[in-house]
Amino acid sequence: MTTHKKITLLLFLSFFVLINGQDIFISNVQNRKAASLNGKWKYVLDPYSTGQIGFMPIYKNVIPKDKSDRVEYSFEKAQTLWIPGSWNFQKPELQYFEGSIWFQKVFNKIDPSKNKRYFVYVGAANYLSTVTLNGEILGKHEGGFTPFCFEVTRLLKEKDNSLIIGVNNSRESNSIPAKVTDWFNHGGITRDVLLIEEPETFISNYFLSLDKTSLNLESKRIEGKLQLSGTTFPPKARILIPELKVNYEITIENDGCSTFSIDVKNIELWSPENPKLYNVTLEAGNDTINDLIGFRTIETKEKQILLNGKPVFLKGISLHDENPVRKDRANSVDDAKLVLGWAKELGCNFVRLAHYPHQENIVRLADKLGIMLWEELPLYWGINWDDPEVLNKAKKQFTELINRDFNRASSIIWSIANETAPNDARNAFLTSIAEHIKSIDQTRLLTAACKKDQAVDGHPDDEYTINDPIMQHLDIISFNEYLGWYGGLPSECRKKTFRSKIDKPIIVSEFGGGALQGFYADSLTRWSEDYQEYLYRENIAMFDKIDGLAGMTPWILADFMSPLRQLPDVQDGWNRKGLISERGIKKKAFFVLQKYYMTK
Ligand code: GCB
């Protein structure tokens, strides 16, 4: 093995040791043998979050022994909530509930076969989860938007297993996000829960990508990394991509990992015009797993973004992970179809999944529809940059997200922060995050949604610059601006310009203004559709002057719930910057952007 290969393998091994920790990461759960644990779960409210301590350990599910026994909760008599789902809109009394709820599901083993391993998998639970089975704590997970799983093989009975998961959605200053966000703090288990069954040794994760150095070669290369989980490993594994005539034997190292590289001829590259996905099968010992994977490269050259070596303009829109019509977190293929359908109609080839990891279904659907994605973590207002624990949490959450979505061609950008003011602690934190991501994934671009500054030299009134020192670690300069909404009127936009001190592609990651769908007035009346329409016109006119503009993601596709927004009869708990109302009706500004994208 060459020294270069040895170093790559070492980096890869240490990465998997890091991510494995005490629990394990399992990717591509949609294509594994699993039983759904979705549906009605019993619940016990724990507003002061004492259910794990003191006199009332709720997760033990104690049942009174006789009529004299004292137990102060009961799953047996408890009501139910639907999982997956935000708890806030299932019962009126839970609308603004912040604290803990303990959920219980009773289930049987998938089949009584021996020599299998079982895992409880949770797609996401906001924010801090304590997972217990049959009275034993399996572990905790922090972070409201990334998946996690715990092995339950040792504790699983044939019948009547009691899975109790405590979820605490209290907002804390050392959390990610921190205390204040402009979105609703949906509590609970918001994505699918599965019981996964695997052989004793199985493929837990793999990364496949197109080697960008082979882009201009006749025969291109697919790079691969494979991770097995088990106590003993077969010496060989296999990867099959029938359409590309790939049937390749992979050598497994002693610790169950492997890196490999395969030459392929006549590969069709993934792009919005041709979102080609290949059937890929991986085999190791008794385990076989299938996936649908696209291959592409994404790079920058001077001020351009290059997809498969060709310049691309990102016609985007921002999005929250909500189905506004159902008033819930999005959690299904149908939810993903609704919002990506709107984005397609708008003429988008790009969507910013703001401000935290969205459900996996939307990323998989974007792969199929040919929509490129920006993904991010809620490193948002008010983060405690000084706390090393917060940095560790951010790295862990990014690792979980990268593990989940590495094989999705649609995902092209990781954004490491949104509207965070530069200072030494924050700059060091974000530099460390950028290095962390690059050490695991060199197949995507890095950005951050920065703030703009008034230019001090040149024309102070009309010119803005992006000065954020974090830019040197990023591939794309992105910035949010709200001219015509949070500052001045839309009529002032046209004379403004933006420039960045570094020559890199630029994305306008947010602009917009609020409008109540159905309220018509004139272009100077706030909250009217006419004002928003005019604001979009004037902003778009201003963007055409930005040197190096490579894309935009206006704020936002649809109205979304936010407790910060309380103006009666206009907001009523909704941020109204959507181009579409919560009932799915398009506002006038939708058509302004649509027209621009259709001709771009
Ligand atoms: C922003 C934030 C976004 C808000 C938006 C607004 O700059 O990034 O989270 O929702 O402004 O509507 O004010």
The CATH number assigned to the domain holding 432 equals 3.20.20.80
580 located within any domain: yes
Is 252 found in the same domain as 304? no
Establish whether residue 510 lines the binding site of ligand 1, counting it when its CB lies within 6 angstroms of any ligand atom: yes
27 located within any domain: no
One digit per residue, pLDDT tens: the chain, 600 residues?
444 444 344 444 433 433 333 468 999 999 999 999 999 999 999 999 999 886 789 999 999 999 999 999 999 999 999 999 999 999 999 999 999 999 999 999 877 777 899 999 999 999 999 999 999 999 999 999 999 999 999 999 999 999 999 999 999 999 999 999 999 999 999 999 999 999 999 999 999 999 999 999 999 999 999 999 999 999 999 999 999 999 999 999 999 999 999 999 999 999 999 999 999 999 999 999 999 999 999 999 999 999 999 999 999 999 999 999 999 999 999 999 999 999 999 999 999 999 999 999 999 999 999 999 999 999 999 999 999 999 999 999 999 999 999 999 999 999 999 999 999 999 999 999 999 999 999 999 999 999 988 776 655 578 899 999 999 999 999 999 999 999 899 999 999 989 888 999 999 999 999 999 999 999 999 999 999 999 999 999 999 889 999 999 999 999 999 999 999 999 999 999 999 999 999 999 999 999 999 999
Distance 182 CA to ligand 1 centre (A): 6
DSSP 3-state of 588: helix
Q: What distance in Å separates the CA atoms of residue 168 and residue 385, rounded to the nearest whole number?
A: 23
The domain in which residue 207 lies consists of 3-15+201-295
Helices marked H in 69-222:
none
| Domain final residue, candidates 295, 324, 347 | 295
Distance 575 CA to ligand 1 centre (A): 9
Establish whether residue 182 lines the binding site of ligand 1, counting it when its CB lies within 6 angstroms of any ligand atom: yes
Is 325 found in the same domain as 218? no
Is 385 found in the same domain as 325? yes
CB atoms within 10 A of CB 97: 17
Is 486 found in the same domain as 467? yes
| Domain final residue, candidates 280, 295, 310 | 295
Is 228 found in the same domain as 186? no
Render pLDDT for 367-390 as a digit per residue (tens, 0 to 9): 999 999 999 999 999 999 999 999
Distance 275 CA to ligand 1 centre (A): 31
| Domain final residue, candidates 199, 228, 248 | 199
Is 212 found in the same domain as 125? no
Establish whether residue 419 lines the binding site of ligand 1, counting it when its CB lies within 6 angstroms of any ligand atom: yes
Residue 449 alpha carbon, nearest atom of ligand 1: 8
Is 560 found in the same domain as 470? yes
Residue 158 sits in a domain whose CATH number is: 2.60.120.260
- What is the Cβ-side half-sphere exposure of residue 44, based on CA atoms within 13 angstroms? 26
Is 436 found in the same domain as 316? yes
Which residue lies with its CA nearest to atom 3 of ligand 1? Answer: 182
Is 260 found in the same domain as 243? yes
Render pLDDT for 486-537 as a digit per residue (tens, 0 to 9): 989 999 999 998 988 899 999 999 999 999 999 999 999 999 999 999 999 9
22 located within any domain: no
Paired tokens of 565: 């927004």
136 located within any domain: yes
Strand order in the sheet with 236-241: 246-251, 236-241, 278-284, 287-293
Render pLDDT for 350-366 as a digit per residue (tens, 0 to 9): 999 999 999 999 999 99
Establish whether residue 418 lines the binding site of ligand 1, counting it when its CB lies within 6 angstroms of any ligand atom: yes
CB atoms within 10 A of CB 392: 11
Establish whether residue 364 lines the binding site of ligand 1, counting it when its CB lies within 6 angstroms of any ligand atom: no
What's the pLDDT score for residue 6?
41
Render pLDDT for 390-449 as a digit per residue (tens, 0 to 9): 999 999 999 999 999 999 999 999 999 999 999 999 999 999 999 999 999 999 999 999
24 located within any domain: no
Ligand 1 site-directed mutation target among 181, 182, 352, 562, most atoms within 8 Å of CB: 182
Is 239 found in the same domain as 195? no
Q: Is 283 exposed, middle or buried (0-12, 13-18, 19+ CB in 10 A)?
A: middle
Is 183 found in the same domain as 43? yes
Ligand 1 site-directed mutation target among 183, 511, 555, 574, most atoms within 8 Å of CB: 555
Q: What distance in Å separates the CA atoms of residue 568 and residue 74, rounded to the nearest whole number?
A: 40
What's the pLDDT score for residue 459?
58
Q: What distance in Å separates the CA atoms of residue 193 and residue 38, rounded to the nearest whole number?
A: 6
Q: What distance in Å separates the CA atoms of residue 399 and residue 382, rounded to the nearest whole number?
A: 22
Is 421 found in the same domain as 327? yes
Q: What distance in Å separates the CA atoms of residue 22 and residue 17, rounded to the nearest whole number?
A: 10
Question: What pairs with residue 118 in β-bridges?
Answer: 197
Establish whether residue 23 lines the binding site of ligand 1, counting it when its CB lies within 6 angstroms of any ligand atom: no
Number of domains in the chain: 3
Residue 7 sits in a domain whose CATH number is: 2.60.40.10
DSSP 3-state of 254: coil
